[in-house]
Every structure is written in C-alpha cells, then in structure tokens.
A and B are shown apart, each in its own frame.
Chain A
Amino acid sequence: MNALLARFGRKSKPQNDDSYYTAGQFALIKARFKRKTSGVVAAWILGTLVLMGFFAPFFSPVDPTIRGADADYRRGAPQALYFWDDNGFSLRPFTYTYTKEKPKLDLSALAGGNLNALDALTSGGALKASSQNKFKVDKEQRRYIQFFVKGWEYSLIDLSVGGLDLDIRWDRHLFGVEQGQIHLMGTDEDGKDVFSRTLHAIWVTISIAIVALIVKLLTSLLVGGVSGYFGGRVDAILMSVTEAVRVIPAIPIYLACAVALSQMDLSPIQRYFAIAVVIGALDFAALGRRLRTHILTERNQDYVLAAQLCGSGTGRIIWRHLIPSFTSYIIVDTLINFPYVILAETSLSFLGLGLTEPVNSLGVLLQKAQDPDIQQNMIWQFFPVAVFVFLIMACVFVGDALRDAADPYSEKK
C-alpha cells in the first residue's frame, strides 16, 4: 500500500486536498487556466467588454442614434474629465461647458461681387472642416458628473416572446452630467456620441459572431459528426465536399453573398443575421474536419469498447461517452475562432457590403475611420479601432490559454 501511495502522491497534489480528486473536467480546465496570467487578464478584459456591450444603453451616457445626436456639438473633440483646476479641487469629476464658436465669415465682402474676396475666403481656411469645429471652453461653468442619471428610456433586457410582454425598460444611466451631454470620446459629424456608439457596436458585432458561430458549429457537427461516425463512403464524399468548399477563398464568397443580399429587401437587422448565417455556414470546413478526426480517434478508445461490452447502446455511448469528450474541445475551438468571425463581419462591413450606417457595428465604425476627413480632423473617431483591437487581442489570449488548459487528461497518456 505504501508503494501505491507513493505513486499516488507523485501524480497529484502533495497536500491531501480532496477537491483535486473530485474535480470534474471543467474544474480541471479552470484550475489550469488560472495558472496562465495573460489568459486571466485577457478574460477580465473580455468579460468587461462583453458586459459593457450587452448593457450598452446603461453604460452609455448618450443615445447613440440620431435622436441623441448633439446638434450643438458636432465634430466635437473628446471632453476630458477633471478633478481640479484653477478654481479649486473637487472630488466629483467634472467637465466644462462647451459652446460652439460661430465661424467668422465676412460674407458682406462677397456681396459686391468681389472675386478677390471669394478667393481670400476659400484659401483662408475659414471654410476648412477643422476650423468649423472650434469650441469655446467655459472654464467657469463646470458640469459635474452624476451617477445613475435619468436619461433616454431604453430596454434593458428584452424577453418578449410572442404575445408575452417581458421587455424590461429603464431610463437610468451609469453616468451623465447635470445639464447638456457628456462626450467622453467626442462626437462625429452628426453629433452622435462616439463612446456610446462604440459600446453599442460591441454587442452588435459580438451577437453576429455568436450567431455565426452557432451556425458554424451546427454545420460542423453535422458534417464532422456524420462523417466520423459512419466513416467509409459517406466520410469520403462529405470530406471531398468539405475540401471543395475550403479551397474557395472566403472574401469573394462573402462579396457574392453580400451582393445577393443587397438585391433582397431586408431590414438592417435581418440583413445582419443573414450575413451571420452566411459567414457561419461557409466556415465549417476546418472545424468539421477536426471534429471528424476527433470522433474517429475517440471512437477507438478503450473506454468506448468498455462501454460497449458493458451493454451500452449506441445512443448511450454517444450521449454519455463521446459527446462529453468533445464539449471542452468545441468550446475552445469556438473561442479561438471568435476573433476570426468578428474579423469576417468587420471586413465585410469595412468593404461596405455588410452593415452600413446608421447601424452601430464595429465594422461600420471602422469603415468610417477610412475617411481622410476623420483621419485629419477627428482622430478621436479611432476610438472604436482601439476597442476592436482590445476585443480581438483579449479573445486571442483567452483562446490561447484555454487551448493549453483544454484537455486536462492529455498529460496522463
């Protein structure tokens, strides 16, 4: 028994902690995941972004649609928050009141038909976009940040199904200012708040990714599962089709689909779901093939034979033994693929074939950032780019750490 215990100790924790022994698959994955700091940090960032995206109306101080556009603060720069200034210190952060400077255009000179005056006007820079969004900061008029302010009404969680009315509506927002609006990341040319738009865009993009991944997962499970389970001729045919789909480059297909979709009369929402389905359905090849391989190897494991000899039927073997063996695998693969699906949506929107203004999606906002006007005069509209980079990096790091942690049983083989 001593020798037994010795081996026992070597393979497990030195301390006699029963939690390790009774830990299931997911507990083991979690424990291994936690050891990778980059993954944990990324998971927190990802979690925060997703949460902020999901409750975007609550976190955003301004209505991101045209209704909430600030007509007095178009093309406005980000408004910084201060704790102190010349007038003293305040625990409550504040910002100032901004008023738009009227462009000083002396149009009277033009009245006389003086061409020189017109020349001077056009070359003088007064008409340039950059000179039109000059704002005067009134340092004497502080606008204090308020929390849980009343604002536009939004639906927090919409659970209405059919006739049921379960739409939970609220009008409180995490923060705001006493009078007027606060634009943490400035506004765009319509006066829409960039910060609020970005928050709303996160959820739109993520939900497309989720829909795309679900469609992709179903397709891959169907193709890979059927292929791996039946093998033989079915496998050969399905895998040839998969390979055929795989060799077609993705972007042209997306383009073709987008063009086809634009022929149909769809609302922006329907359109984006259609795109998600297209992205998902065409991307099944890699995952499908991997699932097939996984099923093929897993089917030949001794424990499956053991289950057969125990008298388990096919259904029981699939349900109790095979499916649990690839749930962790599927979760990891899905997370690793998350950024790629987001990228697909973004690149479609970026090319102008996916979602378009005024829908808030990261792709749309990124597409806007192409505009030279924004690049020169409204650099704050690159904020969604930064958020996008963070989101993708967080996904990649979480996926990476999860992949290392995913198969808690690999080392024992």
Chain B
Amino acid sequence: MMINQSMNDKLLEIRDLTIDFNTDEGLVRAVNNVNLTVRPGEVMGLVGESGSGKSVTAKTIMRLTPGNAVIQHPSQISLQHENRDLNVLKLRGRDLRLVRGDAVSMIFQEPMASFAPALRISDQMIQTMQIHLGYSKEQARRRGIELFERVGIVDPEKRFDQYVFELSGGMRQRAMIAMALSTEPKLLIADEPTTALDVTIQAQVLDLMLELREQMGMAMIFITHDLGVVSKIADNVTVMKKGEVVEAGTAERVLFRPEHTYTQRLLDALPHLEDLPEAPKHTPEPLLSVKDLSITYPLAGNGRKTEYFTAVKNISLDLPEGQIIGLVGESGSGKTTLGKAMLGAAPISSGQVEYFHTQKEVKFGAGMKIKRKRLAQTAQLVFQDPYSSLNPRMTVRDIIAEPLEAMKITKTREETDARVIEVAKRCHIEVEHLRRFPHAFSGGQRQRISIARALVCNPKFIVADESVAALDVSIQAEILKLLKELKEELGLTILFISHDLSVIANLCDRVCVMKHGEFVEEGTVREIFLEPKQAYTQKLIASIPLLEAPDKTRLRTGAQVAAKPVMETL
C-alpha cells in the first residue's frame, strides 16, 4: 500500500500491526491491521484524532506500550539497523535500548512533563549519552552544549545546567529536541510536538525541525492532528481513524487530492483565508460594555508585603448584541481572566461591567456587589474542559436543570423537565440520554451538555472559554455549528475565547486580540486576518500553519493572492 514498495531501503516497516487494550469494558481494539513504511530520511506525517491509534502505533515502535496492551499475532515491526533487520517486537532486556534512544528517539507533546523536574537538564542529557554512546562526562557535556546551540537556545552553557521549569515553553521544546537528537537516532518520532505551544512558538519549532531534518538527514514520524502543520513538514502522509489507516500517500496527493471523506473533513477544519465570513453590514447596539477594567491577583507574598500580578490592564470594550466575538491571545495574555470578569468570577480591582437591555439592571465592578442571580440569568459560561466542568455524580438532567433549580426560576418539577427537554433538543442531546451520567458521554457530547446548561435559563450572553480546545477536529466542527445555530436562532451574543486562530476564523464575526493583559487590536474577522495593522497581530496571523503547496511557496499571502489550489481542493 505504501509508495515505492519496490525500493529496498526501508528504515522501518510495520506490517499488520494490531493492538488491543485490556480494559474494564473488555478488549478494546486500538490499532487494527496497520501497515506503515518509513524510508531513511523521509518525514512521515501521521494524522488522526485522539483515539485513532496514532500515538499507540508510535509508542509500539519504541516498545513503550502500556501494560494492558496486547499486541496481536501477525503483527510485525522491523527496523533496519546496521545493515540487518531487527524484529522490534522480539527485543528483550538491554536490546530494547536499540529502539529506545539508539536508533529511535522521541519528542513528546508536553516538554514540561517529559523532563524529570528535579534533575538538571544537563544531568539527564549527559546520562543518556553516557549510556547510549559511551561518552565520558566531559565529552557528553560538550556535545550537549553543542546541541543546545544547534537547536537555537541562546546562552547554551547557562541553560544546559538549568532545571526544566526555568525555561520558557519554546525553550523547553527545543531542549527536548536536543535531548532526542543527542543519541543521533536514525528515526525521530515527534508526538504532537507543537500542540501544546502557542502559534508563534509553534512556527519557530517547526522551522527548527525542518532545518535539522535537512542538516542531519534522519527520518521522522511526525504525529499531529493539524494538517496545516503536516503540510509544512511531511513528505508522505498517513491518515488514521479508529485504529485503521484510511488514507496514505505523498503529502501533495493526500492534502490536495484527498480521497477519503475523513481527510476532507480534517481539511475543512483549517482556516480558509480566502473564504472568510462577511462582516455584518451594521454594528448592532452593544449588549455589554466594559469600562477601564483591571484585574489583579495577589501573588504569594512574603510576610506583610504582598505582590500583585495584573492579569488585565485597563480594558474598555463594547460587545455588540447578537454577534460572535472572538478573543485571541497567547497563553498568559489575560483573555480567560477577562472573560471570567464579565461573569463576575474574577476579582475586579478597578473599572466596571454593565449589561444593557436586561430586565433588571445588571452592573458590577470594583466596590460594587454582584447580584449573582440577575447576572446568572443574563450571562453564562461554557467551560474549556468538558470533563471537569460537569459534576460526575449528577445525571445529565440534574446538571442541565441546576440553574433552574438553584435560582428557582421554574415552579414545578414538570416545568423544569419541560424546559430541560426543550434545551436538550435544541443542543442535539437525545432525550433518553437525560437520565444518564456524564461518564457515559464523549467529550463532544459533554460539551453539548455544558452548552445546554448555559442556555437553560435563557441568557443573552455566553462566554465560551476555549470551549472546543479539548475536542477533536471533527467534533469541534459540530460544536461550532451548534454555536452558530444558537446565535442565529436565539440572538445570542457569544464571546469566544481561543488561542486557535483557525477556529476563530471559521466562527466569529469580530475579533479582539490581546497580549499581556492589554488590547492590541480589534476589528472584523476580515480586517484582522487579511489586513492586520499591529505588528503583533501580523506575527500571530503569519504563524497560522496553513496548507502549503508542494513546492513550499507559502500560500498564506493573505489578501494579495487567492490561494487557487486550496480553493480547488476544498
């Protein structure tokens, strides 16, 4: 099934890989009959959603499958090493080092969690090199600093001896890459190496990996769910779904002439800069107005002196009624704090928030008491994490009915039930599912429940705080569709907070950009994405990984060139 099967120089060959997991609910098939070939120097993009088996496949190559995994019989993984074929699945004891560092090494998704927090990075790297390459301590140290320099860490000698928490997110991932490269592997497995990073840092890390790949010529398996990232880096792409390979081929073929509907769906989730939504003709009256809002948090102070951290600095903002407003910024920009402040869930140190056109006056701010019930009937929150935001001990019906019962909006149980069923239908939750508990639902369904709970008391305004960040692309699309529907049908105003610019581009009417607690820019989606005025916005927009044509000319030229090939395929 792979390209160039006639070529003999295969670095890695996976044949009929089938893996089951022994779980509480019986055997669950995670990987089903997967075939994959990686040639030396090739970058293979492995694409799929969570649960598609891509990470399990990669971990099996390093024999790092969890204890309850059962590798079924005809599975075979062979690795070309020193001119002979290694049967990876038969390796035992010390021989495992061959696939755990010697010939294969791995870059993990979350660098903070993959370094030992209590050891200096230097110690971890030196030990790795001592074991695998037999270097002396000094030799390993010199090599480590050299690698740090190579991956673009400024002041490598100083950084080398630091702990992982002393480095910034981008630096950590660079250090992780340096560590993975330290044993000079032939195959590098990168498991979502940029997913946890902000877009601008993601762009830097991707550039670095491209550069290293050209210099060192190793093969790479690049696991991601983002086709934009894949198009930047991969030669060949394998798309997995539910443990099976649904499509494989060269990057050009898969990304621009996708055959499987699933690949198409993944492609649809990318931002289409040439097809941005029209800005509404007129700006409606504001529903809510924020005036000179500042939010400070006390940091852990020593003794009597308490230091304060200002998360939001002096922001004034009007949100027009009946629109979806995107709030964009990198992590730590204060966007979530601002969103929570609008719901009265963050300590406001100065300024005020006022809602218009409500039945009773809703106004709060520094030194003013929040009328919680009035506010709760006007504005609601949809959380980021659909798992922790639903009480696992309550049925879906009770969760959705919570605002009604807490604020005693409905008078009888029948009335409550009727209202709950109405909202559930609107959010596409089946009525029979109402007596189930949250554990019976997947992330997307849980997010629907969360939205239903927010809507049940007929609010005018909803803050969606990274509400699709934890979801897979195809489920994201469904939730976004639901939000759009709700806006149209109920005239809701939605503040959509996200770090994911492609989601914003596909959903919002207006966009606000934040950085370090301050406003950078505000405008319609077209204005922000096509003609960003501020340097920071420009940098942010330029960092979005978009589909790239095979000749690697960047298609993200914004307004000037309407990206023809993309248009055709989408």
Contact = CB atoms under 8 A, between A and B. Distances in A.
A321 to B, nearest CB: 6
B475 A3 contact: yes
A34 B395 CA distance: 23
A316 B405 CA distance: 10
B393 A20 contact: no
A89 interface: no
A227 B472 CA distance: 40
Interface string B424-458: 00000000010111011111110000100100010
Contacts, number: 119
Interface string B223-255: 000000000000000000110000000000000
Contact of A23 (B437, B444, B472): B437
Given A4-B444, A301-B388, A306 B406 contact: no
A61 to B, nearest CB: 46
Given A303-B391, A310-B402, A14 B25 contact: yes
A35 B377 CA distance: 45
A126 interface: no
A308 B444 contact: no
B475 A412 contact: no
A232 interface: no
Nearest to B401: A310
A310 B457 CA distance: 9
B122 interface: no
A17 B350 CA distance: 54
Most interface-central of A301, A306, A312 (chain B CB within 10 A): A306
B389 A11 contact: no
B26 interface: yes
Contact of B442 (A7, A24, A316): A7
B393 A324 contact: yes
Contacts of B385: 302
Contacts of A83: none
A10 B28 contact: yes
A24 B437 contact: yes
Nearest to B49: A3
Interface string A299-316: 001110111111111001
Contacts of A148: none
Interface in B16-65: 24-26, 28, 49, 51
A10 to B, nearest CB: 6
Contact of B388 (A8, A12, A303, A311): A303
B372 interface: yes
B478 interface: yes
B163 interface: no
Interface in A15-38: 18, 20-25, 28, 32, 35
A230 interface: no
B387 A413 contact: yes
Interface string B375-395: 011001101010111111111
Contacts of B481: none
A92 interface: no
A307 B391 contact: yes
Contact of A21 (B376, B403, B437, B450): B437
A261 to B, nearest CB: 42
A7 B51 contact: yes
Interface in A286-336: 301-303, 305-313, 316, 320-321, 324-325
A408 B406 contact: no
Contact of A12 (B376, B402, B440): B440
A115 interface: no
Contacts of A307: 391, 402, 406
A8 B381 CA distance: 25
B388 A310 contact: no
Nearest to A5: B442
A13 interface: yes
Contact of B439 (A6, A320, A408): A408
Contact of B376 (A32, A309, A408): A309
Given A23-B437, A316-B406, A302 B389 contact: yes
A408 B440 CA distance: 12
Contacts of A409: 392, 439
B435 A22 contact: yes
B373 interface: yes
A303 B384 CA distance: 11
B200 interface: no
Nearest to A301: B388
A311 B392 CA distance: 19
Given A7-B443, A308-B345, A321 B391 contact: yes
A310 B445 contact: no
A150 B377 CA distance: 70
Interface in B283-314: none
Contacts of B392: 25, 408-409, 412
B445 A4 contact: yes
B368 to A, nearest CB: 18
Contacts of B406: 307, 310-313, 316
A306 B453 contact: yes
A303 B282 CA distance: 38
B442 A302 contact: no
Contacts of B380: 309-310
Contacts of A23: 437
Contact of A6 (B26, B242, B343): B242
A236 to B, nearest CB: 14
B433 A32 contact: no
B474 interface: yes
B3 interface: no
B372 A311 contact: yes
Interface of A: 3-4, 6-8, 10-14, 18, 20-25, 28, 32, 35, 301-303, 305-313, 316, 320-321, 324-325, 408-409, 411-413
Given A7-B442, A35-B24, A313-B406, 9 more contacts: A3-B49, A18-B436, A32-B24, A306-B381, A306-B450, A311-B373, A325-B391, A325-B393, A412-B439
8 contacts: A4-B442, A24-B437, A35-B24, A302-B383, A307-B391, A308-B345, A311-B403, A325-B391
Q: Which 3 A-B pairs have the closest CB atoms?
A: A21-B440, A311-B376, A302-B389
